[in-house]
Structure formats: C-alpha cells, structure tokens
Amino acid sequence: EIVMTQSPATLSVSPGERATLSCRASQSVSSNLAWYQQKPGQAPRLLIYGASTRATGIPARFSGSGSGTEFTLTISSLQSEDFAVYYCQQYNNWPPAFGPGTKVDIK
Amino acid sequence: QVQLQQSGPGLVKPSQTLSLTCAISGDSVSSNSAAWNWIRQSPSRGLEWLGRTYYRSKWYNDYAVSVKSRITINPDTSKNQFSLQLNSVTPEDTAVYYCARDSGGKDWYFDLWGRGTLVTVSS
C-alpha cells in the first residue's frame, strides 16, 4: 500500500501571505492526487484533483502542482477562511490513502 | 443540489454492530458514474477509507483489508441510500464516520461528503 506523508505538520502564516504545503507518496502515483480542506466540525472538502485541477467553486488562490511522488498545494494569499487542516490523497493505487494533514494556523 | 444525509446511533457497545445509513438526494445510488463510500477519521488512524458499493450493470463492493472480515456496505435502491455495518466493534473503532461519493472509475477522489457521525464504542 502507498503511504502518504505531509510536511510541515503545522504551518503558521499571516493573513495575506503565501502558504506552501507539501505531500509525498511512498511510490509514484502519477498525477492521481487530490487535496482536501477540513475545518473543525466539518467534513473534508475537495479542493484539487488530478494534482492541479481545481474542483468546482474553489477560488483561484488555491493551486496544485507536482507528479510522481512529490506534490505541492499553494495558497497564494491566505484569507481568514483558509485557516484549516489540509489533506492529500492518492488514488492511483488501491486502496485510496490519505496523508496525515497539515494544519495552517494564524501567525 | 446533491447531498448526503447520514443517520445512525452515536454510541455502540463493544462486540456489537455499528450501523449507519447515508441517504442520497440529487443523485442515485444506482448511478453508473458514481460509487458510494464510507470513510472514518480518528486521531490515531487519521482518515481511513473503509469501503464502497457501486453499480455497473450489477452491484460491486470493495473493502479495506483492515476491516474486510467485519464490514458490509449495502445499497438500498428503494430508499436511494446505502448503509454501513461494522461487526464486533472495539474501542479502536471509535471515530467520526463519513459517507462520500466518488466517480466510481479510476478517478477515485471524493467530491461529496456527508456531515459525519461521531461513533463512540463504549460500554
């Protein structure tokens, strides 16, 4: 099974600043990588699929890049509503697997 | 607007069966372009995919190895919903359980989620 890791575990960022989150797969997942945002008490929300395609209704400040084993989620200018936990998920191999998450909090 | 509405008890005794239901509105459990999943989340295990059911001329099920001997996911076409049964639960099964939709094909990401149900396993 593929193991997903994310770094850092916590990222402290000021509003308006750029945030860069990393996700790594234990073996190649091609571009079959999704990103989710989760706020306290809520279900995860799909942000990005196919490593770089924004889901419906997701603002352009969210962008994804990478392929193979290394992926990045960038939030270009953090808004107050973006402080949350972000998860990556591979779907290239069975079973689908999530990373442990990166918490983005206010600096 | 497509929605998933979860229901079921929040407290289950050890060794008993955890049962949850996910009612679908705005889509069909029999859709040929969707699959219907159960995912759980706990501090110790993170987000863990448990299994799914989907219809492609016939019904298919797919279960995670970690729960395969204990899990059943069933569609209910008359009510347009699907259910999760997890047998012989222990405190390690305490988690928030989510139902979720994926495309059912190779794009196995989850574009729609239920709100989640906290299930505590305790006597």
Using a CB-CB cut-off of 8 Å, the residues of chain B touching A103 are: none
Neighbouring residues of B57: CB distance < 8 A, sequence distance ≥ 6: none
pLDDT of A95:
95
Residue of A46, A95, A101 with shortest CB distance to B64: A95
Per-residue confidence (pLDDT) for residue B51, from 0 to 100: 97
**CA proximity to A71, closest of A4, A17, A1:** A4
Say how far apart CA B54 and CA B35 lie, in whole Å.
Answer: 5
> Looking at per-residue confidence, does B104 or A64 come out higher?
A64
**Res. B107 pLDDT band, cuts 50 70 90:** confident
Is the pLDDT at B105 greater than 80, yes or no? no
Asked if residue B104 has pLDDT above 80, the reply is no
Check whether the bond before A59 is cis (ω within 30° of 0). Answer: no
Task: Determine whether the interchain pair B110/A34 forms a contact, defined as Cβ–Cβ distance below 8 Å.
Answer: yes
How many inter-chain contacts (A to B, CB under 8 Å) are there?
Answer: 50
Give me the residues of chain A with pLDDT under 50, please: none
Which residue is listed with tokens 């159960």? B38
Pairwise CB contact (< 8 Å): A49 & B48: no
Residues of B in Cβ contact (< 8 Å) with A23: none
Residue B103 confidence (pLDDT) above 90? no
The predicted structure's pLDDT at residue B38: 98
Q: Are strands A102-106 and A10-13 parallel, antiparallel or unpaired?
A: parallel
pLDDT higher than threshold 90 for residue B102: yes
